[in-house]
Amino acid sequence: MESSTVRIDGTVWFFLENGKGRPVLLVHGNTGSSTWWERILDLPGCRCVAPDIPNFGRSGPLGRDITIDTYADSLADFIDAKGLKGAVAVGHSLGGSVCLSLAARHAESIGGLVLVDSSSPRGLSTPEASYPAIEAMRTNRSILEQALKAVVPTLVDDVLFGRLVDDAMRMAAPAWIGNARALSAFDVSGRLGGWTKPVLVLWGRKDVLITEAMARETAAAFRNARLEILEEVGHSAIVEDPDRFKQLLSQYLTTLPAAR
């Protein structure tokens, strides 16, 4: 596994990369970073690339209005810069929404789609009354830890969890409320009918953020999607049960045309 940076339109992107073969782009969620994907990067036969999206982790600020579509547009720029056109896009949580936007706005950039505890195509609403609590997470590590524990309920690796919290605290200040507003405003319903490639939707039964109904709505938005329910994990199979996740992802890759 290697870490590196690339500058795109004046913004520095940090990313992790491992392996050779079919390109797989791993897109983290809110308060996330490439660290969330470290246990996934050894996927056989794949070139796995996990960036910190601008505003997150070790990358620079977005430099644009905070919307899911602008995150997706910036990710399309990263795909071009890193020669990842046709990559399988794997999005977790907010990253799933970003990948939904990619499928709607930049379908030519990606060759497959995996959505892990993603919001539905109609976004994820956060009431304004919750915004003070979000701001408290930004400045109070113990509050942030409590919130993150809820989304990784079966993770038992304290060292990894501490690193996830460290990276969460690096998120740009405007993104804490900005991301909540972006998810609340997001809506690509009715814009995904042109996507005909297979889609894998994963949902953890113990997820406290995304409901089963939302996961089913996401799968129903596509012509060719399969919903896999993971009974023993919560919002974050990628760290809670990475071996099972890699197994499902590898199986999904066999349903796609051979990478060029």
pLDDT digits (tens, 9 = 90+) for 114-160: 999 999 999 999 999 999 999 999 999 999 999 999 999 999 999 99
Average of per-residue pLDDT across 71-90: 98
In a domain, 141, yes or no: yes
Provide the phi-psi class of 11: left if phi over 0, else alpha when psi is between -120 and 50, else beta. beta
In a domain, 227, yes or no: yes
Q: Write the CATH number for 17.
A: 3.40.50.1820
User: Which range marks the domain in which residue 38 is found?
Assistant: 2-253
Confidence of residue 194 (pLDDT cuts 50, 70, 90): confident
In a domain, 248, yes or no: yes
In a domain, 258, yes or no: no
Residue 260, pLDDT above cutoff 80? no
Report H helices in the chain.
68-81, 94-105, 131-139, 141-151, 158-168, 173-185, 212-220, 237-240, 242-253
Average pLDDT, the chain: 96
Could you give the number of structural domains in the chain?
A: 1
